[in-house]
Amino acid sequence: MILIVAEHNNTVLNNATLHVIEAAKKLQLPIHVLVAGSKCTDVVSAAQECAGVRKVLIADNDAYAHQLAENVAKLIYQLSTEYSYILAPATCFGKDILPRVAALLDVEQISDITDIINQQTFVRPIYAGNAYATVTTSLSKNVITVRATSFPLCGSQDKCDTQAIDINIPASNTEFISINSTDTGKLPDLNSAKIVVAGGRGISSKDKFTLIQQLAEQLHAAIGASRAAVDAGFVPNDLQIGQTGKVVAPDLYIAIGISGAIQHIAGMKDSKVIVAINRDPDAPIFDIADYGLVADLFDAVPELIASLSKAERLISSE
């Protein structure tokens, strides 16, 4: 059987989990989803309605309120007896928890898979996505993180069964202090947005990064950034896209002032449509862009924002 570890905030089930559920179907085994958290009724309800899920395991306890990797990994380990596959999204959440599970089980983890050939064979990117490796396992326990953007969202179904898990494992050596998250207002989450507007070093300063914010608001898009922009302090690192950041695959990706280093491209190259704005005609980003504009972003982006605003007003007046 398959156990999928649900990523959530105790209120909303993260879309990355829905992609993992769809990926797990290719293993052709019964799928259970573990929801570990506190007061997470809404998350459980959402998981029950994910097509393909046979049962939702509920570990609703204050000990799991912040889903600390130390105790959630031990919980998964205790539940692992029945499962041949333990899956989670290859996000910060999954990358924090599953390596610990693999260590407890004394098995090698298979990381960041992009395809499932059969129950023993998986595909994963290597060399920053420049090549793909096909790996085969003969283990009885397989711990796997899944690149969510490589699989579609699962559909819906009538609610499946649930099972309460009465295992309380405190995080003895770890204490939750606080969490600081980036406030992007009403803009969508970067991991699940259909449109992403990303800025790079070419933006030149933190204050000028408001151009990216304004364009994102016009398009109701998520905000992203290259590592160069993050390292320069323009935006927090939770907006970083790339090999060492988040991997996204929106319907539309707009890269502004981003040169297109291979490390950044590894995090967004699967986007359906890529638009690049850069004043350097030789920037590598143009090699993968569907549409490219060689222009000064400080001229082009304000014009684009103004045009979108005008179009919005015309539509509103009709």
pLDDT digits (tens, 9 = 90+) for 277-297: 999 999 999 999 999 999 999
| Global model pTM greater than 0.95 | no
With 0-12 CB in 10 A as exposed, 13-18 as middle and 19+ as buried, what is 163?
exposed
- Most confident among 243-247, 264-268, 277-281 (mean pLDDT): 277-281
Inform me whether the pLDDT recorded for 170 exceeds 80: yes
**Structure token pair of residue 139:** 């283990």
In this prediction, residue 317 carries a pLDDT of 65
Nearest residue to 280 (alpha-carbon basis) of 308, 317, 253, 255: 255
Give the pLDDT mean for 193-222: 94
Which residues, other chains included, contact 58 with Cβ-Cβ below 8 Å and sequence gap of 6+?
A: 35, 40, 44, 162, 163, 164, 165
Give the chain's domains with CATH numbers: 2-164 (3.40.50.620), 195-317 (3.40.50.1220)
Which residues, other chains included, contact 59 with Cβ-Cβ below 8 Å and sequence gap of 6+?
A: 34, 35, 36, 37, 75, 165, 167
What is the residue-wise DSSP string for 123-161?
A: EEEETTTTEEEEEE---SSEEEEE-GGGSPPP-B-S--E
Helix or strand or coil: residue 147? coil
Which helix (H) or strand (E) segment holds residue 60: the answer is strand 53-60
Looking at the chain, the whole-number percentage of residues with pLDDT higher than 70 is 97
φ/ψ of residue 149, rounded to 5: -70, -10
Please state whether 220 falls in left (phi above 0), alpha (psi between -120 and 50) or beta.
Answer: left
Which helix (H) or strand (E) segment holds residue 51: the answer is none
